[in-house]
Amino acid sequence: MITAIAGFGAVLPAAASIEGSEPLDRRTMDESAFEAFHRRTARLLWSRLYRLTGNAAKADDVSQKAYIQFIRTADATRSEPELRAYLYKLATRIAVDEWRSEERERAPRWLPFAATRSAHDDTVVRSGVEKALGGLSVRDRAILWMAYVDGANHQEIAAAVGVGPASVKVILFRARKRMAEALSSLGIGPEVLG
């Protein structure tokens, strides 16, 4: 797990931006406020990134990069939920960018979410779900995870992945369709999943 980013300095860039976003007119977060925010968000962010990347070292790296970008660009006058959504958006973008730059997809170690059946059936379904998820893009995996495991609403998903709220419904529909096709190609249909 990552450790707190200490000593980031009292003077931060006034209005930095990330790719695809507007520069923020903002007030910077002081060190004690950032440390408190980091304590409240670090475990959940790391956990999400680990599920997204399937690699602890990559989750550490992306998490640290996201917090550094957050320090540079976050508006301290925003509410806690807005700051969290902004942090998740930064982290998701960094993870997707890194995945694209590697030009290959890593098979994540997803937590099983298939219903419990016999030990053999459960193992087959779990393995199939992991394989199907591993074949999806990072963005599809992130959106499906946020919607169906974390229970995020469309606004939260939109903020995390950097799309408009109206687009989430379409993107989620397409991600579900690709997941269903991947499961079907493995011989796992709705009757098996329950």
DSSP 3-state of 175: helix
Helix, strand, coil share of the chain (percent; to 5): 65, 0, 35
Tell which wins on pLDDT, 146 or 107. Answer: 146
Q: Kindly indicate the confidence band of residue 41, based on its pLDDT and cuts at 50, 70 and 90.
A: very high
> Taking 70 as the threshold, does the pLDDT of residue 90 lie above it?
yes
pTM: 0.48
User: Cα–Cα–Cα angle for 104, 172, 190, nearest 5°?
Assistant: 90
Q: What is residue 122's predicted lDDT score, i.e. its pLDDT?
A: 61
- Average pLDDT value over all residues in the chain: 74
Tens digits of per-residue pLDDT, 112-121? 444 444 555 5
Of 10-19, 54-63, 143-152, 178-187, the one with minimum mean pLDDT is 10-19
> Taking 70 as the threshold, does the pLDDT of residue 12 lie above it?
no
Structure tokens at 49: 């990134």
Query: Treating both helix axes as pointing N-terminal to C-terminal, what angle do 138-148 and 165-185 enclose, rounded to 10 degrees?
Result: 100
Domains of the chain listed by start with CATH number: 31-102 (1.10.1740), 119-193 (1.10.10.10)
CA–CA dist 161, 57 (Å, integer): 22
Of 37-41, 80-84, 137-141, the one with minimum mean pLDDT is 137-141
Q: Give 173's Cβ-side CA count (13 Å radius).
A: 5
CA distances to 22, 115, 194 from 190, rounded to whole Å, are: 43, 12, 6
Cβ-count burial of 14 within 10 angstroms (0-12 exposed, 13-18 middle, 19+ buried)? Answer: exposed
CA–CA dist 192, 194 (Å, integer): 5
Tens digits of per-residue pLDDT, 120-179? 556 667 777 778 877 888 888 888 888 887 778 888 888 888 888 888 889 899 988 888
* H-helix or E-strand spanning residue 108: none
